Structure 1
Amino acid sequence: MTKDRAPSPLTAAPMEGVDESTWLDVIQKMDEVYTRLIDDEVELEKKNAELEQSQQFIVSVLTSMSDVLVVCDERGLIEQANAALCELVGRSEELLRGSSLSDLLADAASVQAAREAMGRNAVPRSGQGIELNLLDRQGQAVSVDASCTPRVGSNGKRVGTVWVGRPTAELKRAYHEMRAAHEALKRTQQQLLHSEKMASLGQLVAGVAHELNNPISFVLGNVHALRKYCDRLQMYMAALHAQASEEELQALRQRLRIEHLMGDLPSLIEGTLEGAQRTADIVHGLKRFSAMDPDERKPVNLVEVIERAIHWVQKGRATSVQVRWDPVQTCSVMGSAGQLQQVMMNLLQNAFDALAREPEPMVRVEMECGGGERSTVRITVRDNGPGIPAEHLLRIFDPFFTTKPVGKGTGLGLSISYGIVEQHGGHLSARNADGGGAEFLLELPAA
């Protein structure tokens, strides 16, 4: 006879009113919740990875910044600092956190300026520039050009300040070096300009010597004559002081030709003064051309400048070149007479050099002097030579560009002339004339 088996404790007794389909629905819901938990965990891991990457990116940016960066709270206590600041002040970020920004400043003026900037409510989002002095690792003051930017919380209120600064010692040193280099460049340009003028003067030495020879020879001859006359007068005066008789004095006057001497003295003196004045004028013209002209501008009569340039360039040539020039009465511009004469001499010298192999060399100089306000003076220098090759037209004003043989040209004449004309508010251009030959056009604003 069998006995009834007692129900196992692991076997759930069926619940009254719950069938099998209800249990299936419960299991399905549990599976959905579990799946959602897995998905949320995967998404959380993804977000954590992205957050870690963002944090590493921010840290790398802060570390690589050459400018110093400090983040302070509303009380001015340091919350974060980058590696550049730690390197500058010689402290780690852990030591800087919680300390006051004032502890990093070198003087009371910087502390006061920083406090005012952090306490100011109306600070633009773009920041406010302030110059502060920080204490470096050696305890020396370092000038920093800092920008103070407010840090705003989620409620729109200011919760702190972000300081970004750049030490200006390097910038100041670089500025001084750049300024020194600029001054050296200006001196070099002046030396090049002066050297080119001296080179032009060197080409005119022969003409200048010939030009000076005539008045100096005239003065020298007159001085020799005056010396002889002086000796005769001394002899006659000695006879007078010796109380010679009237007959002796009369004979001496006839022998020494005292009457002729006295009549010739005024013309000798006048001729000597004229020759000396002519020599002084020549030397004065050379000094005015060779001197380093000041930057001041004065009215300059271009007619006189052109005539002097033609005169000196022709005097420096072994062979004569015909120059056609019909001057007007006057035509003035504001500028430097010496510099403008250098430009004209350079243009004429180049034209003469281009005509070295021409059987009938000729240079034509023309001037158009406009009237009224904002008028322009146009000067044209044209030769009947072979002209300028097309490949050289674009480089004709480049520094050190020359088609002359070595030792015959520096390649600076036209370049310096171009710069001088620009400084005078004008323009210098070159082209080949329609009838042949090269043509240079100089345009300057009339005075």
Structure 2
Amino acid sequence: MNLRISTSLKFTLPLILLGFAATLSTVNLLYHVPEAERAAVDRSRERFNQEMSRLQSTLEYLSLKGDLDTIQHEIAVLTHNHDIVFAALTDERNLVIAATRRAWLDKPMAEVSPKFDFQQAAGAIRDRRARVTFDADGNQLLGYAGILMDHEGEGLRPSESGALFLAYDLKRSKGVARAQVIQQSLYWSGWVVVLAMAIWLVFHFLLTRRTALLVHAAEQFASGNLAARSGLKGHDELARLGRAFDAMANEVADTQTQLRHDIAKRERVQAALENSETRLQQILNNTTSIVSVKDTTGRLLFVNRQWEHLFHIPQAEALGKTESDILPGDRVMALRTHDMAVLERNEPLEFEETALLDDGLHTYMSIRFPLYDADGKAYAVCGIATDVTEKKRSAQELTRQREALYQREKLAALGSLLAGVAHELNNPLSVVVARAVLLEEQGDPAARVVAAKIRTAAERCARIVRTFLGMARQQPPERGPVAINEVVTAVLDMTAYAMRTSTIDVVLDLADQIPPILADGDQIHQVVLNLVVNAQQALQERPAPRRINLSTRYDPVAARVRIVVADNGPGIPAHLRARVFEPYFTTKPIGIGTGVGLAVSLGIVEAHGGELTIECPDEGGAIFHIALPVGAVQAPSTPAWPSAKRHTGRRSVLVVDDESEIREALSQILSDADHRIATADSGQEALERLAMEQFDVIVTDLRMPGLDGQALYREIERRWPSQAERVVFVTGDTLSASLHEFVAHSGRPVIEKPFLPEDVRRLVGGLAAADQVGW
């Protein structure tokens, strides 16, 4: 940066005079201030010596008299002297016995004021002479002198001599002298400044002011102020020069004024046009839609920022070129076709198009319309495309969620229905199974064969009911030991009818001695069921033969259980295999699938630490492989009810159930075990029987009208606590979470319908035997 110094007399003359005044004042200060300070120090030192001599005589006199109070008063008076910093009197041990600062009393002088040279002070005390020195900063006078002290004074400690220490402030006297010199310097400098201002005023009014007016007018005129004039009056040379300048300025101003009017008009028009274009471009660049303008030959006239993001081409490279110069050919053909259609129809065209971007396929709603010039002729085509991908996805997701909600509502309704159906089915199934087993035990060989078939069919019905209940339960995942072969068998039980009606052969190959895995049985069941149902749907439209192979294997090396579900259907095309596990992706027709089955199955398998993979052989079909780890599996903790033991005497058993067939079946089962049986068809009747008689075992159904099994147990627990430990529950409702919670809380054993006679005898006999031994 260049520093420009003005050479005008308006500034140079007063600056010279002010510089002279400043120099004079500086010299005066540099010379006279030290002289004045030295004189002040000499005067202060003289007064200090006088004060030291006076104090030495006074204190020595008072000390010989032993008047310590007066000594302390004499020194305390010195605090009112602003020039004395402090004063102190010490004894022969150099301890302060009187001082202007009471905090110093009885303290060593070297501790309270280390400024003194105590070796010199010791010499002065011995010689009883006063000595004066300066401190390290030169701002204080330090004096010390020896004092004779009385041996017999009552107020002082015994000592031969003491010392007087005195500090005198020089800063005040120096400051006064310095102020006098500065005041004198300022006085004379003021007169010099006044003289400089008077000289400046004379030159200013006679020469510099008029010259400055002319120079200012010339500078203003040169900078564009055509109204600038000097306006100088008089008859001297400066006045004549000013009038000539004003005449020239008038002529130039007339010409420039007209020219500026013309230029200003054109600039206003141009600025308005540029502002309009800038605002339009800002609006188009900040819109979320893709905007482009092309002339009738296809050259790009404008593209916005969204267009650049879509095609990854900067605006500077795109303008003036056709789309065929910068875009792929297949895309250009479609775009150009739409432009030509707009120009031919001379009206807007709206359509939907798609584009493959980095994050997938996007859908755009586009509109093209012509732009007209002042004569009404179309000179360009404007295209606006809005991304509606998220909107369409949101609509699809909303539809899917509505369908999922509808399905959950149906499933919830189905679960409620199944709960009632299970209870109603399990009661007759219990009678059928129990009667069939009893018939097997007591009938002739031909009847036993028939009874075995009846029992097998009834047990299959029971398994199907339990499987449906497990699907409808929707309870939180709960892992435990799961037998894979039983899961596969349960799936085939559920799908047997669909396989038969679709003429699909199911080939089952289950390996023996497969260890249980730690998993949620319902979830694994869901995975296998999804794969089997998918295979069945894939084979639906295929010509015979149709076949599904299910196999299980155990790999001890990898510690994995493997399940394979294979079909001879059409398989899955290679380009779709990577997407079959994506949520909502499906190749099935609308209404057949939702695209979530395989995604959910993959999530379940991976949550269990396994893998779900697909294989499509060249000869066709699809093979799904499930691999699940075999870990440390512990059996679920259940009460260890004692087994039945041989015992003498008959045991009394109370059977409570509102179904007469169930009561009769249980009564016959337990009667054959040599127990004495009493029955009750309601909870209220059971309480009446219990009030009159004590039973070894109480077998009660959980769900009964009126007083049900839960209320009966709580009433027994309240009235006869010892009898509550003899209760056994019977239930056909495996769906209700509240019943599960109640049974777990009570800790009582449960017989699930349909039941086998041997299981009932073993459990009831075990409880009776445990009661006998005080278990």
TM-score by length of 2: 0.24
Larger CA Rg, structure 1 vs 2 = 2
